Amino acid sequence: MTADISKKLFNLSIDSFTIIFLTALGTFVALMIYTRIFGKRSFSKMSSFDFSMTVAIGSIIATTVVSSSVTMVQGFVGLGAIYLIQLTAAFARRYHWFKALVDNKPLLLMDGEHILYDNLLKARVTKGDLVSKLREANILKKSQVRAVVFEATGDISVIHTDDINLEVEDWILEGVKK
C-alpha cells in the first residue's frame, strides 16, 4: 500500500513532464497576450471583484497546467472568459447599482486617535491586527493617526502625519462608512 501511494505521489514520466512544461509555457504566453489586450487592471486589487478575478485566473492556470482532465485549449478559453467577464464588470461598475452589488464599501477603523471598536467587529479585525498595521506604517503615537480605513480590497490604509494641525480632507474619506 505504501508503495502505491509513493508511486502516485512521486511518479513523473518524461511524457507527463513535457506535457506539463509545454502547457505551462502555453498558458503563460496566453496570460501575457490576454493581459496586453485587456490591460493591467486585470491584476489590480482595486475592488473585491478584481481580487476575485485574480484568484479565478490562478485557479484556471493551475488546473490547466497540472490536470489531465483540462486541455490547454480549454484553459485558454476559460482564461479568455474570465478576462471578458472582468472587462464587462469594469464597464458595468459605472452604474451605481452594479457597483453596490459587487464592491464592498471601505470602513473606518480609527477616526483620529479613536479606535472604532464596533467597526473592528464588523470588519472582523482585531485590535492586534490594527496595532500591527499601525506599526507597519511607523506610527509612534496615536496622535499621528488621522484615519485608518479597512479598504474594499481587504487592505488597511493608515493616514497619518506628525503635523497636528493637518486634517484629512473630506474627499479622501468619501464613500467610507463611519
Query: What would the pLDDT profile of 62-94 be if each residue is shown by its tens digit?
Result: 999 998 899 999 999 999 999 999 888 888 888
Q: 166 by DSSP, 3-state: which?
A: coil
State the Cα–Cα distance between residues 15 and 24, nearest whole angstrom. 14
What pLDDT, on a 0 to 100 scale, did the predictor assign at position 2? 63
- pTM over 0.95? The answer is no
State the Cα–Cα distance between residues 97 and 141, nearest whole angstrom. 40
**Which residues have a Cβ under 8 Å from the Cβ of 60 and sit 6 or more positions away?**
75, 78, 79, 82
User: Are 177 and 105 within 8 A, CB to CB?
Assistant: yes
Selected residue with higher pLDDT from 39 and 138: 138
Q: What is the mean pLDDT of residues 107-126?
A: 96
State the Cα–Cα distance between residues 68 and 72, nearest whole angstrom. 9
Burial class (CB in 10 A: 0-12, 13-18, 19+), 158: buried
User: Are 127 and 145 within 8 A, CB to CB?
Assistant: no
Q: What is the mean pLDDT of the chain?
A: 88
What pLDDT, on a 0 to 100 scale, did the predictor assign at position 129? 96
Q: What is the mean pLDDT of residues 128-155?
A: 94
Count CA atoms closer than 13 A to 84's CA, side-chain side: 6
Question: What residue ranges of the chain are covered by domains with CATH 3.30.240.20?
Answer: 105-173
DSSP state of 1: -
109: confidence class by pLDDT, cuts 50, 70, 90: very high
What pLDDT, on a 0 to 100 scale, did the predictor assign at position 64? 94
What pLDDT, on a 0 to 100 scale, did the predictor assign at position 156? 94
39: confidence class by pLDDT, cuts 50, 70, 90: confident
Write out the three cell numbers for 3.
508503495
- What kind of fold does domain 105-173 have according to CATH? CRO Repressor (3.30.240)
What pLDDT, on a 0 to 100 scale, did the predictor assign at position 8? 66
Q: Is the pLDDT of residue 142 over 90?
A: yes
132: confidence class by pLDDT, cuts 50, 70, 90: very high
Q: What is the mean pLDDT of residues 110-133?
A: 96
Q: What is the mean pLDDT of residues 161-169?
A: 89
What pLDDT, on a 0 to 100 scale, did the predictor assign at position 4? 67
